[in-house]
Chains A and B, each alone.
Chain A
Amino acid sequence: AQKITQTQPGMFVQEKEAVTLDCTYDTSDPSYGLFWYKQPSSGEMIFLIYQGSYDQQNATEGRYSLNFQKARKSANLVISASQLGDSAMYFCAMRGGNNAGNMLTFGGGTRLMVKP
């Protein structure tokens, strides 16, 4: 069975500073994908970044980067230069190998609050 753990229920960060949101995962599939989503208070889930289990380099998308440590089974999201609009819930998710279909397993989320 797959499992995603996000140990930080809530975090504060000062505007313009960088912040790291933690995510650890557990799976027996050799092939898997890791995703981060942002959910503002309005409810929609916004895709941020993807990391494949066989990718050699850490993924980056603008201000978002993923610190992927495969041996430790961690996939932390780093947001650089935080903005007020970054205040939201952040979810780490995993899609397993072929046997898992297209199912995403989500962590419990981290609520990020950016202070002006």
Chain B
Amino acid sequence: KAGVTQTPRYLIKTRGQQVTLSCSPISGHRSVSWYQQTPGQGLQFLFEYFSETQRNKGNFPGRFSGRQFSNSRSEMNVSTLELGDSALYLCASSLTGVTNQPQHFGDGTRLSIL
């Protein structure tokens, strides 16, 4: 069974640009969550999508947005990039997102802002 696939693995952008990251969940998983990991702030929740609807959102500015398609694939977009957006962005999927279901993570997209 294929795991969570994130593309691209590495990305280099400059300030002011925008970026789109992609996540394909494990087959059958309908919940997709996104996290940002930085050395200073650790792992922080961005948002969660379930059945094409944003179900939960973390404390990030509106420059961070996402969506989910009918096949459960998800994209995350960051506009007007800032130096502080440099981070590892992790996508995780689970069946429906109830308490006892583990989230399975992808390998992440490492975003560097120059």
Contacts and interface: CB of A to CB of B under 8 A. Distances in A.
Contacts of B108: 43-45
B90 interface: yes
B92 interface: yes
Interface stretch (A10-18, A67-75, A76-84, A93-101): A93-101
Nearest to A106: B43
B45 A103 contact: yes
Contacts, number: 67
A106 B35 CA distance: 10
A97 B99 contact: yes
Contacts of A108: 42
Contacts of A101: 48, 55-56, 97
A25 interface: no
User: Which of A32, A44, A91, A106 has its CB near the most chain B CB atoms (within 10 A)?
Assistant: A44
Interface in B1-47: 31, 33, 35, 42-45
Given A32-B99, A37-B105, A93-B43, 20 more contacts: A31-B99, A33-B99, A35-B103, A43-B108, A44-B106, A44-B107, A45-B108, A47-B103, A47-B104, A47-B105, A50-B102, A96-B99, A101-B48, A101-B97, A102-B33, A102-B50, A102-B97, A103-B45, A104-B35, A104-B43
Interface of A: 31-33, 35, 37, 42-47, 50, 52, 91, 93, 95-97, 100-109
Interface of B: 31, 33, 35, 42-45, 48, 50, 55-56, 58, 88, 90, 92, 94, 97, 99-100, 102-108, 110
21 contacts: A32-B99, A33-B99, A35-B102, A42-B107, A43-B88, A43-B107, A44-B107, A45-B92, A46-B105, A47-B102, A93-B43, A100-B56, A101-B56, A101-B97, A102-B94, A103-B45, A103-B48, A104-B92, A106-B42, A106-B43, A108-B42
